[in-house]
Amino acid sequence: MAEYIWIDASSNVRSKTKTLQKPVSSADELPEWNFDGSSTGQAPGDNSDVYLRPVALYPDPFRLGDNILVLCETWDSDGSPNKFNFRHEAAKLMQTHADEHFWFGLEQEYTLLGPDGWPYGWPKGGFPGSQGPYYCGVGTNKVHCRDIVEAHYKACLYAGVNISGINAEVMPAQWEYQVGPCEGIELGDQLWISRFILCRVAEEFGAIISFAPKPVPGDWNGAGLHSNVSTASTRAEGGLKVIEAAMLKLEARHSEHIAVYGEGNEDRLTGRHETGNIDKFSWGVADRGGSIRVPRQVAKDGKGYFEDRRPASNADPYQITGIIVETLCGSS
């Protein structure tokens, strides 16, 4: 069984299953397929066929054996990429600048909701005690849904996703996992597969995964997709100078970045709750209240990576990594 997975018009994953006659080991052995794009907001009803082109395969952690997950790009019948196929442009950029060896590590935060849409484990219609005991918490009433989180972690490892760790977050029922470092387009591919696995695992438990950047208004932390970035030259001796030069380029294109860093991010990037202000670019060493943080260790070593803290939890990793490459490799 091959589970063909794609991204719809609203950054949700969709999938359907195809029976194969024999095991396959690479995406180009798989047939193209199609779906009804008018049912996913990806095509008009009178020209509804959207094509699925397999681009990456992963062992299926649910069906096991020879069964696979198949990540696909979406293409229109006239041979152009679908409007919501953000992978295509990103892959071209990654290819053009392959010799920079961009590495990305993304920290995916998300919130677990019960079937009623209220955060899992919160009193019905009420609130838990204020934030403090929950971040990296251990124990009943400090964390919720560890069973789901563990199942997702193991399933990602089985599928070959380069998941580098997990932690409970500041708001109860909010968690984080990290994917990466991955080179180039791999990061977007693996992050989308990890999201598919998360939503699929949560089905088994009757929980809802929310990627909303500010799931509960008020004095509760929002959810982000911190994006850690390095290149061959930031990782080499003298790399800190290259990072400082990159900050100027990123500052000049702040609003272009914000435009693709997720829906509803204005409710999260308030300058409070460990965020920078949405209207103003800032960066600093060890500063969690800025747009970009250079880790203390990187400043000390004089080389390494930086953390773009602006992307929201619901942002598209192809768009994030794509615009970062475009900005850093641009001339201005």
* Residues contributing to the site for ligand ADP (CB under 6 A): 103-105, 107, 164, 178, 180-181, 226, 228-230, 235, 304-305, 307
Coil, helix or strand at residue 64? coil
User: 74 or 230: whose CB is closer to ligand ADP?
Assistant: 230
When CB distances to ligand ADP are compared, the closest residue is 105
User: 107 or 186: whose CB is closer to Mn ion?
Assistant: 107
| Binding site partner of 42, from ligand ADP, Mn ion, none, Cβ cut-off 5-8 A by kind | none
| Binding site partner of 181, from Mn ion, ligand ADP, none, Cβ cut-off 5-8 A by kind | ligand ADP
| Binding site partner of 239, from ligand ADP, Mn ion, none, Cβ cut-off 5-8 A by kind | none
Instruction: Fill in the amino acid letter for 168.
Output: A
Is 273 an interacting residue with respect to Mn ion (CB under 5 A)?
no
Rg (CA), the chain: 20
Is 226 an interacting residue with respect to Mn ion (CB under 5 A)?
yes
Pick one of 8, 60, 73, 176: the residue that binds Mn ion (CB under 5 A).
176
13-72 residues near Mn ion, rule: CB under 5 A: none
| Binding site partner of 228, from ligand ADP, Mn ion, none, Cβ cut-off 5-8 A by kind | ligand ADP
Q: What is the rounded CA–CA span in Å between residue 286 and residue 293?
A: 6
90-109 residues near Mn ion, rule: CB under 5 A: 107
User: 128 or 224: whose CB is closer to ligand ADP?
Assistant: 224
Stretch that binds Mn ion, among 16-24, 81-89, 168-176, 205-213 (CB under 5 A): 168-176
Q: How far is the CB of 76 from ligand ADP (least distance, A)?
A: 34
Contact present, 160 and 174 (Cβ < 8 Å):
no
For Mn ion, the binding residues (CB under 5 A) are: 107, 176, 226
